[in-house]
């Protein structure tokens, strides 16, 4: 019987008490829950207005320059030279000061032509220039 009792006491001394570890885990859990509730996400609230009739007309009148794969420049259904881009953009921008220049380029259009159109538009005092690659 003494052997049996000795065996029990040896097993009891070998066990690991998990209570302190569980206390630490619960304290960490409470810490993270409390701190997470104070974190505020940064964002911008966007308020969209309904455009009036005048704004809809002016926004739809952007200056659209189409560049084909063989570097031909088209404006309002007519072919123009790269040297006349500035005059045409100035004329159209005088009619609609809020108009932006949109360059619709074919995938095979030369970068040089696109840069020349962009430069001519900037010389016409239009700095809102967008490039769109079309098929």
Q: SS3 of 29, please? A: helix
Q: What is the pLDDT of residues 112-133, one digit of tens each?
A: 998 899 998 899 888 888 888 8
Task: Choose the weakest-confidence range: 4-13, 17-26, 86-95, 107-116.
Answer: 4-13
Residue 37 lies in a domain: no
Name which of 91, 95, 89 is nearest 118 in CA terms: 89
3-class SS of residue 22: helix
In a domain, 5, yes or no: no
Q: What is the pLDDT of residue 29?
A: 93
In this prediction, residues 31-59 reach a mean pLDDT of: 64
Q: What is the pLDDT of residues 50-73, one digit of tens each?
A: 655 555 454 458 889 999 989 899
Residue 8's pLDDT band, with cuts at 50, 70 and 90, is low
The full DSSP string for 32-94 is HHHHHHH---------PPPP-HHHHHHHT--EEEEE-TT--EEETTEEE-GGGHHHHHHHHHH
Q: Is 20 within the bounds of a domain? A: no
Q: Is residue 124 one of the residues assigned to a domain?
A: yes
C-alpha 66, offset from chain centre: 25
The total number of residues written for the chain in this structure? 135
Residue 94 domain boundaries: 53-133
Task: Report yes or no on 17 lying in a domain.
Answer: no
**Structural domain contains residue 101:** yes
- For residue 95, give the CATH number of its domain: 3.30.420.270
- Structural domain includes residue 2: no
What total of structural domains would you count in the chain?
Answer: 1
| 111 within domain boundaries | yes
- Residue 108 above 50 pLDDT? yes
């Amino acid at each position: 019987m003494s052997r049996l009792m000795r065996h029990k006491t040896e097993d009891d001394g070998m066990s690991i008490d998990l209570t302190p570890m569980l206390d630490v885990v619960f304290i960490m859990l409470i810490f993270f829950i409390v701190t997470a509730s104070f974190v505020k996400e940064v964002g911008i609230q966007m308020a969209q207005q309904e455009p009036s009739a005048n704004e809809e007309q002016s926004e739809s009148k952007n200056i659209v320059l189409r560049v084909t794969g063989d570097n031909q420049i088209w404006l309002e259904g007519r072919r123009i030279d790269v040297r006349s881009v500035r005059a045409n953009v100035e004329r159209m921008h005088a009619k609609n000061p809020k108009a932006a220049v949109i360059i619709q380029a074919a995938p095979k259009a030369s970068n040089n032509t696109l840069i020349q159109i962009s430069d001519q538009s900037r010389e016409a005092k239009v700095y809102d220039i967008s490039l769109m690659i079309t098929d």
